[in-house]
Structure formats: structure tokens, C-alpha cells
């Protein structure tokens, strides 16, 4: 299995990072994609790719980290993105929940990083919080310009929390949908209803660790070893075995990120 979104570089893992990776492997999670949230995190994520064979990096500036964004930042992002074991541009997007950065600045950073992804032939990892219409309008326009080789792997809407209409638009544009711990929550019936409609070849599982811990560990720090809980819930929704769901989501992540 593959944890397609884990912030392994965050300080929540500073005391036991190696043990976290070992527990993941013991649970069958052999590869982890670590998205950056700012330039400092890009460096940290790259260091972890050198330290752990199964860890890969996504390079990008999170919308909540864009308040000081300028076009000059893109040179650094591109330099990092050309390094070995970088498999995506991310985590990028829009966040209207927190008042961390003006929407116009977020959009400028988002569009600049999408342009870089297209130029480098890398998929994108999309953060969307309370900005679905703007996110999808930008992504649909961007995806329509992609070369043929990227049309079926433009990226993933990470920790999907939109409604059915947004899910349908994302799938129509070629995107994958990633599901995290909330799919196991008691009050997440709508998210589960949407997940059940997503084609098997467009599903990804992710932790977003250290956040969004699934039941039965909700309230504690999340980690990649808990990926099987998302796999099991999605398998039940799609009426397939856990082994079939594990194989499908692994193959999907391999295809999207071109993992070995």
C-alpha cells in the first residue's frame, strides 16, 4: 500500500520518525509521498527522500504559506522540483477557511505552480478548503491545456471534502480523489456516498498525517501505518475485498506519480 499524502517532515514526527516508517512497512505501507507546504519544507522533504528508500517528495507552496509569494519564489520551487524522487508539485491550491493569505495572492501562486507542473510533466496535489468553485475553475482551464501524456494523470484532489458536483467535475477533468481519516467518521455519510461513486481506478488513500486520524485512533497523532483503515472502509463502500482495494489504490498511486 501507498500513503499518497503524509507530512513526515513535520515536527510531530521528530521523536520517532524512523519508527513511524518501520511501523508503516510492518502494516504493508511501503511507500509514502511527502508533500511540502513551503520552501523550508521542500528542503526537509528532500532530505527524507535521501534517508528513506520508500519516501518520495512533492514540492510546492501551500496556499496558507503564500502571503509573501512573489514570482521569484518559483525559481527555488523549480530547482527543488527537478531533484530525484520528486513525483509531484504540491501541496498547492486555495484555502478560504483561514485568513492567512489574500485570495488574489493564493491564486497567483496556484496558477504559477500549475504552469510549472505542466512544464515539468508532473502531476499536482491539490489542497481545497472552502474554495471548491474557484479551485475547479482554475483546474479545468489548466487541465484543458495539458499535453496528451498528462491528460489522464493531472493530479489528485487531496483529502476530498467537496460535494458530488465537485467530484464529478474533478473526475471529468481527469483527476484522482484522495480519501483520508474522515471517511471513517460517524458523521461522514456524504463523503462515503461520494467515495462509493468514484471509479476504482481513480481512488487514492492517504493519511495527511499527523492530521485527520481515522477511527479507532481518532484524537491521537495520525501516521502511515493507519492506511489500512481507509482501505478497509473504501473496500466496503465499493463492494470489493480489502486486498482488491489495496491493490487498486497502490496501482493508482504508482500510475499517477510514476512510482517504481
pLDDT by 10s per residue, the chain, length 260 = 999 999 999 999 999 999 999 999 999 999 999 999 999 999 999 999 999 999 999 999 999 999 999 999 999 999 999 999 999 999 999 999 998 999 999 999 999 999 999 999 999 999 999 999 999 999 999 999 999 999 999 999 999 999 999 999 999 999 999 999 999 999 999 999 999 999 999 999 999 999 999 999 999 999 999 999 999 999 999 999 999 999 999 999 999 999 98
- Is the preceding peptide bond at 91 cis, omega within 30 degrees of 0? yes
Nearest-angstrom CA–CA distance, 189 and 125: 24
Q: What global pTM score does this model have?
A: 0.97
Nearest CA to 154 out of 135, 174, 132 is that of: 174
Q: What is the CATH number of domain 2-257?
A: 3.20.20.140
If you write DSSP's letter for every residue of 113-158 in order, what string do you get? HHHHHHHHT--EEEEEES-HHHHHHHHHHHHTTS-GGGTT-SEEET
Amino acid at each position: 500500500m501507498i500513503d499518497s499524502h503524509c507530512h513526515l517532515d513535520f515536527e510531530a514526527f521528530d521523536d520517532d520518525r524512523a519508527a513511524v516508517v518501520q511501523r508503516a512497512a510492518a502494516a504493508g505501507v511501503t511507500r509514502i509521498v511527502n508533500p511540502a507546504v513551503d520552501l523550508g519544507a521542500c528542503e526537509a522533504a528532500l532530505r527524507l527522500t535521501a534517508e528513506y528508500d520508500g519516501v518520495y517528495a512533492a514540492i510546492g507552496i501551500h496556499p496558507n504559506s503564500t502571503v509573501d509569494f512573489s514570482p521569484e519564489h518559483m525559481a527555488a520551487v523549480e530547482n527543488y522540483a527537478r531533484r530525484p524522487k520528486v513525483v509531484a508539485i504540491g501541496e498547492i491550491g486555495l484555502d478560504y477557511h483561514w485568513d492567512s493569505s489574500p485570495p488574489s495572492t493564493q491564486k497567483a501562486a496556484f496558477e504559477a505552480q500549475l504552469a510549472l507542473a505542466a512544464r515539468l510533466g508532473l502531476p499536482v496535489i491539490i489542497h481545497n478548503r472552502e474554495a471548491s468553485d474557484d479551485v475547479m475553475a482554475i483546474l479545468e482551464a489548466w487541465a484543458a491545456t495539458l499535453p496528451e501524456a498528462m491528460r489522464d494523470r493531472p493530479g489528485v484532489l487531496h483529502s476530498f471534502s467537496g460535494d458530488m458536483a465537485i467530484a464529478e467535475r474533478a473526475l471529468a477533468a481527469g483527476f484522482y480523489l484522495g480519501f483520508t481519516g474522515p471517511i471513517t467518521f460517524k458523521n461522514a455519510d456524504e463523503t462515503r456516498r461520494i467515495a462509493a461513486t468514484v471509479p476504482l481506478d481513480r481512488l487514492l488513500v492517504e493519511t495527511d498525517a499527523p492530521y485527520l486520524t481515522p477511527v479507532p485512533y481518532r484524537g491521537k497523532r495520525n501516521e502511515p501505518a493507519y492506511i489500512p483503515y481507509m482501505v478497509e472502509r473504501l473496500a466496503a463502500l465499493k463492494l470489493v475485498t480489502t486486498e482488491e482495494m489495496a491493490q487498486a489504490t497502490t496501482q493508482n498511486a504508482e500510475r499517477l506519480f510514476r512510482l517504481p
